[in-house]
Structure 1
């Protein structure tokens, strides 16, 4: 089995650095940008996030099928990374641009730019995610590649969550509207460069068997809904992304309003992201030792419990917030590494069982879970804040909103870990089964070459 060189793993990882410049900016800053800078109400912003993410889920599946049927000399998935690099950077910049419209005009502009952003993000990230499934057929090497990928993802988080607040202040000179625009323009340029590096340094190695090339859309969809590991991962993905997105989406508001120190949010998020990078890099050896399902269950329980204890933190308990947040994030940082590696395993399972491999369609579950879970998290945050009377443009509403902010930072996301664990107990692919399945697939592929 051909080992993937470190250079290629880093090149692939930079693609998720780029994706997370967009994704982390949206999950962490878009809601507070809409409510506190652009002037959209919390309820309207929460509904916007939910509606667009619900409709966007369909496009993930469609994009997965389109990518599976793309055939170019450069592969099925890599070309999409090239084709979408510049459009993604442009639309991200427009999303954080603040035209001087009235309330209705602002809402229409927000819907248009955000929907366009999610569509282009889908066209980029579904093929990017699926690329990992065809760079190697070895499940252990795939876990290693996933570790590199999410180390890159957390680097993207550091660039946005760690520096965006400072960039807004520095480039805006006190004008948040201008500061957000210039800061996002800069980060969008970095995003484009990293996507181009990913395209130029990666290679597709797993070739579809001849029988798959004539498969119909209906066949792929039938295989998908009968793929028990994939169905379970779809549910798990939605739930754990909702969990992580609530934690991320409330952080700036929590530090700004509850702890009364918005600038401290940047250093907090950087600490958490460094911990996440470490967690990503130790995932592969931990998974090899414990198995992916068992490790996923352990980190879900650990992260949820420690996050729930944040409810005990008072406004002056900065050290406690950092300690509990760091412990919770170590577990949270392992979750996506396992999830995307396990999606590759479910693609192998489909090929092993049905003789067809729809890698793009299988990995569309990942982007669907990210966007649907992120939308659900945004709606939960928006609706709870609205229920407690939060108005980002009115300081008089802050005292009444504090209980809602506090619960969103602690036990609301922690509750979501319970159904995740229950669903993971049903996941059928053990380490032994994966090894046997991998051996059989290599023999089948070799016989068809």
Structure 2
């Protein structure tokens, strides 16, 4: 291994973080709006939407990601293993992200086929870009404190992408389309595709791969897969990632339904009107006088702002107490504030906002730690087997992410269908209202709690982190 694995410049950390900002303009849109796009804009039934999201998502997770991970680990160029993937997939990813949120004038069957094809290619190019991008964090530096710092930069960028998508995007879609959401989302995705492509190119230009396996450490795909099956921390992290993203996809994709169908509009208007008046007085008129868009955006804004605050505490806590223990504790605490939503009546707008803020803060502490832990698992594999297979380990985590996103998104539309949700209806049956309430509270709490319990069996604690880091430094010198 290269010995040059220490401190990183602020420029490189920011450049690297822009890659996740770009990717999350796509990912956060999928997580927040894909179900809503399919049911209320594109015009598919909730059942068909559920099948597409589940089947295509799981195929992408279990087939595309491992293949791309294995190929990326064996890529050899003058730019490194992973950076070329970021460069050469940047433009195709932007184009297919736009096409996936386009509404063609097809028959219903034609729309189903188009959705399947577009979503499939979107997940292929997203994996081809984001998997090598994630693996890059494992070879930029071998210093675990720097890795924690890099993760913090990265996930502040993620929060900015999430902030834009969840706070402003619904209002921008309505405004850009003059009330036609199909036209509005196409215009928004065009702009995001251009911006995201530029950011990914900047990531390529500003980063460097420093940890390079020695030629004698080359391994076969069979050996890499064999190492994974014997790597219990990897199995636990794969399961944890899946559970976390099931919860995120389920609650994230349900909030728009929650605000449009459950939250009391009069109480929401009373709560947000002073804020709207203040924004309008300084010339910020994006939300206009639409209390639903404004309330939805401000609700998400509160959670995201405090997630960013939580992220700033993450590195210090992880350095002091170890990633595992910090992640487990704050994942559990954050879950309590998700569960609370089940007990809020439609008029308890203030309590909804407070609970969202507290959930955001405590969950924010865990966000950078997840990916830093996965990089630690790559180090653990090298430590145990004297072979490094960074991308295939990260590909397994991407399997968990995609599987979680697919299962969570599919469960959202499946539950909506089973609870008799009626798309674009002014009134919903009581069963649908109760289902929407469960989708933002009890249902997403279950995977989070399972994840917190799972970490009791994860053995890479603070002491082992330091042992692995020191041993690998000696080997690489």
- TM-score, length-scaled by structure 1: 0.97
- Tell me if the contact between 2:142 and 2:211 (Cα under 8 Å) persists in the aligned partners: yes
Q: Is the 8 A contact 2:83 2:136 kept in 1?
A: yes
SS at match of 1:429: coil
- 1:437 counterpart (468, 471, 475): 468
Q: Does 1:376 align with 2:407?
A: yes
Cα distance in structure 2, aligned partners of 1:305 and 1:442: 40
Quote the offset at 1:443 in angstroms.
1.4
Quick check: 1:113 aligned with 2:118? yes
Cα drift, residue 317 of structure 1:
1.4
Pairing partner for 1:252 from 251, 256, 264: 256
Tell me if 1:195 matches 2:200. yes
Instruction: Indicate conservation of the 8 Å contact 2:152/2:315, yes or no.
Output: yes
Task: Give the one of 316, 319, 322 matched to 1:291.
Answer: 322
Structure 1 residue 435, shift from structure 2 partner? 1.1
Q: What's 2:25 paired with?
A: 21
Whole-Å Cα distance in 2 between the matches of residues 286 and 442 of structure 1?
A: 23
Please state if 1:227 is matched with 2:258. no
Where in structure 2 are there 5+ consecutive unaligned residues? 266-290
Q: How far apart, in 2, do the equivalents of 1:224 and 1:277 lie? A: 33
Query: Would you say 1:362 and 2:397 are equivalent positions?
Result: no
Per-residue Cα deviation, 1:44-71 (whole angstroms, up to 9, x for no partner): 1111111111111121111111110011
The answer for the alignment partner of 2:417 in structure 1 is 386
Counterparts of 1:415-430 in structure 2, within 5 Å, are 415-430=446-461
Contact 2:245 2:405 in 1 (8 A): yes
Query: In the alignment, which of 79, 82, 89 is matched to residue 74 of structure 1?
Result: 79
* Aligned-partner Cα distance in 2 for 1:388–1:18: 35
Q: Which residue of 2 aligns with 1:126?
A: 131
The RMSD of aligned alpha carbons is 1.3
Name the structure 1 match of 2:278.
Answer: none
Whole-Å separation in 2 of the counterparts to 1:40 and 1:291: 46
Partner deviation per Cα, 1:311-334 (whole Å, 9 max, x = no partner): 111222111111111111223223
Equivalent of 2:60 in 50, 56, 61: 56
Q: Is the 8 Å Cα contact of residues 168 and 183 (structure 1) preserved in structure 2?
A: yes
Instruction: Provide structure 1 residue ranges, at least 5 long, that are not aligned to the other structure.
Output: none
Change (3 A) 1:105 1:397: farther
Alignment of 1:262-411 (within 5 A): 262-263=292-293, 264-411=295-442
Specify the SS of the correspondent of 2:460.
coil
Residue 417 of structure 1 and its aligned partner are, at CA, apart by 2.2
Per the alignment, in what secondary structure is the counterpart of residue 390 of structure 1? coil
Q: Is the 8 A contact 2:326 2:366 kept in 1?
A: no
Cα distance, 1:211 vs structure 2? 2.3
Query: Aligned partners of 2:347, 2:138: CA distance in 1, in Å?
Result: 47
Q: Distance in 1 between matches of 2:217 and 2:64?
A: 22
Extract structure 1 runs of 4+ deviating beyond 4 A: none
2:171 matched to which residue of 1? 166
Q: Secondary structure at the match of 1:163?
A: helix
CA shift for structure 1 position 234: 0.4
| Inter-partner Cα distance in structure 2 for 1:144 and 1:403 | 42
Aligned to 2:288: none
Deviations 1:291-316 (A, max 9, x none): 11111111111011111011111222
Q: Cα distance 1:160–1:48, how it changes in 2: closer, same or farther (>3 A)?
A: same
Shift of 1:89: 0.5
Q: 1:435 to 1:421 in 2, by over 3 A?
A: same
The residue that corresponds to 2:185 in the other structure is 180
Aligned length: 445
Matched with 2:95 is 90
